[in-house]
Structure 1
Amino acid sequence: MAIREISTKNQSVNFTFNKSKLLRELLVVISIGLFIGFLAPFGMHELPVFMSISYWVFTCVCGYFIYSPLINLGHKYLSEKFSAPWLRVAISSLIASILMSLVVPLITMIFFNSPINLINDFLHFLPKTLVIGGVITFFSVWQNHVKQQQQQLELSTKVIEEHASTTDTKSIQIEQFMSLLPINKRGQLLCLEMDDHYLKVHTDKGSHMLLMRLKDALLQLEGFPGLQTHRSWWVASDAVVSVNKQNRKMTLLLSNHLEVPVSRTFVDAVKAANII
C-alpha cells in the first residue's frame, strides 16, 4: 500500500534558468516596456513616442538582468533565515532597486545626453525603481507560481491516474481504511489494538481511536501483509523488530517500541509466518 500526500508547506521555490524561460520572461518584460513607453510617464509625453518606448524597453530589459539574478540568489542564500518566499523576494527586490537606481541615471545620460549627479539622481530614481521594479517583480513571481501550481496539479493528476489504473480492489479497501484516520496520523501501518468498543490504530505518525470492531478492520485489511497475534491485537509484518520469548510467554517488539502480546491461540500462526 502506498499513501501519497502532497504537502505544500515546505515546498522549495524553483526558479530554474533555461532558454525558453529566459525568452518567455524577456517577452513579458519587453511588453511591459512597450506599455510604459506608450504611456510616456514622468514628462516623457513631450518626447517622440519611439524615443519613450525605446528608453523604457531598454530600461526594463536592464532591470530584468538585475532583478532576476538577485531574486534567484536571494532564494538560494536567504532560505535558511527566511522561510517565506515573498519575504526573500522583497529583500532581493529592495537590493535590486538600489542597484537599479544607480543604473537608471546612466541609461538616462545615454538616451538624453543629460549630466549625472549621482547622489541626487539616486534619491530621485529610488522611489520610482521601488514601485516599478516591485510591480514587475511581483508579476514575474506570480507568473512562476501559477506555472508551478499547474505543473504540480498535472503531476498529481498523473500520479492519481497511474495509481488508480494499477490498484486492485483490495488496495482500494486498505486505502479507504487509512482514510478514516486524520491526515497527520496517516503513515506506515504498524498494528491494531482493540480497546473495549474502540479500535486503536497505530502508525509511524502516532495512534488514533476508531469506533470499529477488530474483525471489521481485518476484512478491510485483507491482503495486507500482517497477522493477528491476540484476540485484541493485529500487527503488520514489516513492523516487527524482534520476537521475545520468556518462559511460555511470547511478545513482539514493534518499530515504535510497542510490545504486542502473542496468545497461545496464535503462537503457531506467528511461528509459521516467520516474520523475523
Structure 2
Amino acid sequence: MDDKARKHGGTAALRRWTIDFSMLAGIGLLMGFLGPFDSDGAPVVGRYVYWMICIVGGGLIGIAADEVLRRRITIPWWRVATVSVLMTPPVTLLVLVTQHLTVDQPITWRAYGWLLWQVWPIMLAVMAVRALVWRRARIVVETRTVIAPPLPEAEVAFRRRLSAKRREARLIAIEAHDHYLKVHTEVGAELITARFADALNELARAHGWRVHRSWWVAADAVEAVQWRRGVGEMRLAGGLTVPVSRTYGPVLKEAGWF
C-alpha cells in the first residue's frame, strides 16, 4: 500500500471514530439531562460525568465488539442484537465501578446482576442508533449509454402508419392497448389501429427494445433506467415513464443499462 492510500485509509478511520465518539457523547449528554434510573437526584456535574463515562465508555466497548463481528455477521440488525448482548457484561462492570467511584456504591454480585437488566436495553438502543447513523442508503443504478442514430430505412414501414404531422417526428415509444397502439413521439402521442406484433416486426431493425409485454421504446429516447427488487422503470425523453418487466430486463442489461 502506498503512502497516499495509507493516508486516505487513516483519514477515513479517524473520521469514523470521530463521528462515533460525537454520537456517544451526544447520547451521554442527553442521558445526563434526563437523569433516568433515579440519577436526577445527583448533583448536576456528577450526573453528567457519570452518564458520559457509562455511555461513551460502554459505547466504545460495543463498537470494538461490532468491528470484530462485522465480517462474521453481515446482517446489521442481527449484529446489533448480538453485540448488545455480548457487550452488556463488561459494560455493566464499568457502570458498577463508576457508581462505586462517584457515589460510593458497593460492588457486589447482587448489584451486578440487578444492573445487567438496566444496562442491556440502554446499550441495545445505543448500538441501534449507531446502526442507523451508518446505514447505507439504498443504491439505485442509473446509467446512460450512447446510442447510434437509427438507420433511415429501419422505421420507414412503421412510420407510414402515422399521420403526416408525426411521420417525421422523433419516435419515443409505442404502448399497446387492446386493438390499437398509442405511439409516443416528440410532438405528441397518436392512436393507430395495428397489432403490437406487427409493429415489433416492422421495427425489428430499429434501435429500440421491447421492455414490457405492452411497451417498445426507442433507444435514443432513454434517459435513465432504475432497477429495484426485480422490477425496473425507465425514464424517457419528454418525461414519459415506462415499466420494465423481469422478462425483458436481460435485454437492457446486455445493452449496458445495468
TM range (shorter): 0.5 to 0.7
Task: Kindly provide the CA deviation profile for residues 186-220 of structure 1, in whole angstroms up to 9, marking residues without a partner as x.
Answer: xxxxxxxxxxx998xxxxxxxxxxx8644523212
2:129 is matched with which residue?
139
2:137 is matched with which residue?
149
**3-state SS, counterpart of residue 217 of structure 1:** coil
Closer/same/farther in 2, CA of residues 217 and 128 from structure 1, 3 Å limit: farther
Task: Kindly provide the CA deviation profile for residues 22-50 of structure 1, in whole angstroms up to 9, marking residues without a partner as x.
Answer: 11221121111111112222222221111
Q: Distance in 1 between matches of 2:115 and 2:62?
A: 16
For normalisation by structure 2, the TM-score amounts to 0.52
Q: How does 1:72-91 map to 2 (within 5 A)?
A: 72-79=67-74, 84-91=75-82
CA contact (8 A) 2:76 2:131 kept: no
Task: Kindly provide the CA deviation profile for residues 88-113 of structure 1, in whole angstroms up to 9, marking residues without a partner as x.
Answer: 22112211123212221122222223
User: Given the alignment, which residue of 2, 9, 15 partners 1:20?
Assistant: 15
CA contact (8 A) 1:101 1:122 kept: yes
User: Given the alignment, which residue of 113, 116, 127 partners 1:126?
Assistant: 116
1:96 is matched with which residue?
87
1:42 is matched with which residue?
37
Identity rate of aligned residues, in percent?
19
Closer/same/farther in 2, CA of residues 214 and 38 from structure 1, 3 Å limit: same
User: Given the alignment, which residue of 215, 218, 221 partners 2:205?
Assistant: 218
Per-residue deviation at 1:86?
1.1
Backbone CA RMSD of aligned residues: 3.1
Task: Kindly provide the CA deviation profile for residues 218-260 of structure 1, in whole angstroms up to 9, marking residues without a partner as x.
Answer: 21259xxxxxxxxxxxxxxxxxxxxxxxxxxxxxxxxxxxxxx
| Mapped pair 1:68 → 2:60 | no
Per-residue deviation at 1:124?
1.2
Closer/same/farther in 2, CA of residues 94 and 76 from structure 1, 3 Å limit: same
For normalisation by structure 1, the TM-score amounts to 0.49
Q: Distance in 2 between matches of 1:170 and 1:64?
A: 59
Corresponding residue pairs, total? 157
Closer/same/farther in 2, CA of residues 92 and 170 from structure 1, 3 Å limit: farther
Closer/same/farther in 2, CA of residues 46 and 216 from structure 1, 3 Å limit: same
1:229 is matched with which residue?
none
Q: How does 1:222-237 map to 2 (within 5 A)?
A: none
Q: Distance in 1 between matches of 2:205 and 2:93?
A: 71
Q: Which amino acid aligns with 1:124?
A: W
Per-residue deviation at 1:56?
0.2
Closer/same/farther in 2, CA of residues 61 and 17 from structure 1, 3 Å limit: farther
Structure with the bigger RCO (C-alpha within 8 Å, sep 6+) is 2
Q: Which amino acid aligns with 2:87?
A: A
Q: Distance in 1 between matches of 2:42 and 2:72?
A: 43
Per-residue deviation at 1:17?
6.4
| Mapped pair 1:107 → 2:98 | yes
Q: Which amino acid aligns with 1:19?
A: L
Per-residue deviation at 1:170?
4.8
Closer/same/farther in 2, CA of residues 170 and 18 from structure 1, 3 Å limit: farther
Per-residue deviation at 1:78?
2.7
Closer/same/farther in 2, CA of residues 30 and 218 from structure 1, 3 Å limit: same
**3-state SS, counterpart of residue 78 of structure 1:** coil
Q: Distance in 2 between matches of 1:75 and 1:198?
A: 52
Q: Distance in 2 between matches of 1:17 and 1:131?
A: 30
Gaps of 5+ in 1: 1-15, 178-196, 200-210, 223-276
Q: Distance in 1 between matches of 2:37 and 2:92?
A: 15
